[in-house]
Chains A and B, each alone.
Chain A
Amino acid sequence: MSRRWINLIIIGFSVTVMQIFIGSGLNFYGLFNPKMYPVFLLLLPRNIKPVFAMLIGFFYGALIDLLCNTYGFGIAASVFICFIKPYILKFIYNKSIEEESEISVKVQGENFVLTYLFIGLFLFHLFYFFIELGELANVFYILFKTILSTLLALILYLIFYMLFFSIPKRK
């Protein structure tokens, strides 16, 4: 197994544990509800077939749902993020899948990965909170909550990343 897969599995395991013990406990007037686990799905290599990626999202979301008592919400949002992922990359990145399949700080640099994770996490939270509410209402409240939760999730992930991985110099 190559090093990048080991890295990905370490990240997946860590964000799952972080989500269960840190993410689900945070609450500030109902505004912060960060979800770190989609980071794993967002960092999956690009050359995985979309259908297969969605199946990974489905089972990973089901695992998170079992552990966090959020029945079905995690599945719906995870499948959504796996579906939308290629479109985000098409929008902000112009290299083809054959050229570069891996998404990591080493290949694209920290600026790109941060932007990409921000957009991905933002869409994930937005979808999740609307599904959780069950109707299309309180748009500004949900948007506000989404932005705050996205930023917090990103900061928590960055803290984790800086603790366990060294950030390499640009080539």
Chain B
Amino acid sequence: MGNVIVIFQRVFPFLVFILLQLAAFYIISRYNDYHHSKMISRSNYLAANINEKVANLTSFINMPLQNEALAMENAKLRQELYMTSARLNAKIDDSILGLYPFQLPNSARVVHGKIVSNTVSQLRNFLIVNKGSKDGIKKDMSVISGKGPVGVVIDVSENFCSIMSILNKDNNVSVRNKSTLNIGQLRWKGGDIMVAELEEIPKHIKLKKGEIIETSGYSSYYPAGLPVGVVEEYSEDSKSNFANIKVRLYNDFTNLRYVYLIENIERPEIRKLEDTIAKFQKNSN
């Protein structure tokens, strides 16, 4: 009997170690899942407040740079405005082909926000933006910046919202190449934050280096025609039917400060139809 107690005393620290590790793994699996990320912004409230103070200071220091970027973006928007009004005057509706760059659906609503917290060093990166339910932000809204898609809103508190960045292993974006409009999936798999991988492009489509990749508008998250990046590397693999493509992103997440949140009011409707299709696919299997 004495032996048993001695053995137990020896093993006890190890048992505690295993127990605490199990607790840690439970927390990891719970909080790093897309569907369970509701708690993120809630427990982040304190950190977000501190981060906002720091972000205020740094944004003041970086003001000249930001001003220049804003001026450039204004110019671009103005140009687009002229183009749109010209198109309206000429009464041309070519939205079926999606040939015009960056069209917002008629029912979209745009809100701008400032990033208060941003990570780039993890495998699953998140951002926090200083707009919340008070400003009409909802879950599943898409987030873009002047240079391309940024992510999707996954949770909203009163004053802040958390965003799953496209620099997240679990996030993917439906994209197409600009010349032939072939659809693929853009996915970031860690490593260099400027480079993501383009998947599901069949081998017979030869993409050249430097070809522009833009959003397809199929996922109902991002508007169609938003430039994402350029093809940096194209290679073929004999084992697979699809090409290996690396895309250099336009967006540099390390100096991102202002973003636009877009709500597509038609999205619930599209989502409903997608669900019906999924149900049919399930039944036929």
**Majority SS at the chain A contact face:** helix
CB-based contact A71/B27 at 8 Å: yes
Instruction: Mark out the residues of chain B between 19 and 63 whose CB falls within 8 Å of any chain A CB in the assembled complex.
Output: 20-21, 23-32, 40, 43-44, 46-47, 54
Chain B CB within 8 A of A24 CB? yes
Smallest distance from the beta carbon of B171 to chain A beta carbons, Å? 15
Chain A CB within 8 A of B64 CB? no
Chain A CB within 8 A of B16 CB? yes
Q: Contacts A24-B121, A26-B121: A71 and B32 contacting too (C-beta < 8 A)?
A: yes
CB-based contact A72/B28 at 8 Å: yes
Q: Contacts A58-B23, A75-B23, A75-B27: A70 and B13 contacting too (C-beta < 8 A)?
A: no
CB-based contact A76/B193 at 8 Å: no
State which of B16, B20, B31 has its C-beta within 8 Å of the C-beta of A71.
Answer: B31
Q: Flag B250-280 by CB within 8 Å of A: 1 or 0 each.
A: 0000100000000000000000000000000
Q: How far is the CA of A54 from the CA of B17 in the complex (A)?
A: 7
Chain A CB within 8 A of B74 CB? no
Task: List the A residue with the shortest CB-CB distance to B167.
Answer: A30
Task: List the B residue with the shortest CB-CB distance to A29.
Answer: B192
Q: Flag A110-153 by CB within 8 Å of B: 1 or 0 each.
A: 00000000000000000000011100000001000000000000
Q: How far is the CA of A132 from the CA of B54 in the complex (A)?
A: 27
| Chain B, interface residues (CB within 8 Å), range | 35 or more
CB-based contact A69/B13 at 8 Å: no
Chain A CB within 8 A of B119 CB? yes
Q: Flag B155-182 by CB within 8 Å of A: 1 or 0 each.
A: 0000000000000000000000000000
Q: How far is the CA of A94 from the CA of B84 in the complex (A)?
A: 78
Chain B CB within 8 A of A16 CB? no
CB-based contact A51/B12 at 8 Å: yes
Instruction: Mark out the residues of chain A between 24 and 73 whose CB falls within 8 Å of any chain B CB in the assembled complex.
Output: 24-27, 29-30, 32-33, 50-51, 54-55, 57-58, 61, 65-73
Chain A CB within 8 A of B222 CB? no
Chain A CB within 8 A of B104 CB? no
Smallest distance from the beta carbon of A101 to chain B beta carbons, Å? 17
Q: Which residues of the other chain, A, contact B32 by a CB distance below 8 angstroms?
A: 71-72
Q: Which residues of the other chain, B, contact A141 by a CB distance below 8 angstroms?
A: 191
Q: Which residues of the other chain, A, contact B26 by a CB distance below 8 angstroms?
A: 72
Q: Contacts A54-B20, A66-B43: A71 and B193 contacting too (C-beta < 8 A)?
A: no
Q: How far is the CA of A26 from the CA of B24 in the complex (A)?
A: 25
Task: List the B residue with the shortest CB-CB distance to A26.
Answer: B121
Chain A CB within 8 A of B190 CB? yes
CB-based contact A51/B117 at 8 Å: no
CB-based contact B121/A79 at 8 Å: no
CB-based contact A30/B28 at 8 Å: no
Chain A CB within 8 A of B221 CB? no
Chain B CB within 8 A of A21 CB? yes
Smallest distance from the beta carbon of A43 to chain B beta carbons, Å? 20
Task: List the A residue with the shortest CB-CB distance to B39.
Answer: A71
Q: Which residues of the other chain, B, contact A133 by a CB distance below 8 angstroms?
A: 123, 190
In this complex, the member of B12, B47, B54 whose beta carbon has the largest number of chain A beta carbons within 10 angstroms is: B47
Q: Contacts A30-B193, A66-B43, A79-B21: A132 and B122 contacting too (C-beta < 8 A)?
A: yes
Q: Flag A98-116 by CB within 8 Å of B: 1 or 0 each.
A: 0000000000000000000
User: What are 14 A-B contacts defined by CB distance under 8 Å?
Assistant: A29-B192, A30-B191, A30-B193, A32-B121, A54-B17, A66-B46, A69-B47, A69-B117, A69-B122, A79-B17, A80-B17, A83-B17, A131-B28, A132-B123
CB-based contact A30/B23 at 8 Å: no
Chain A CB within 8 A of B212 CB? no
Q: How far is the CA of A95 from the CA of B47 in the complex (A)?
A: 42
Q: How far is the CA of A83 from the CA of B40 in the complex (A)?
A: 28
In this complex, the member of B24, B120, B254 whose beta carbon has the largest number of chain A beta carbons within 10 angstroms is: B24
CB-based contact A73/B28 at 8 Å: yes
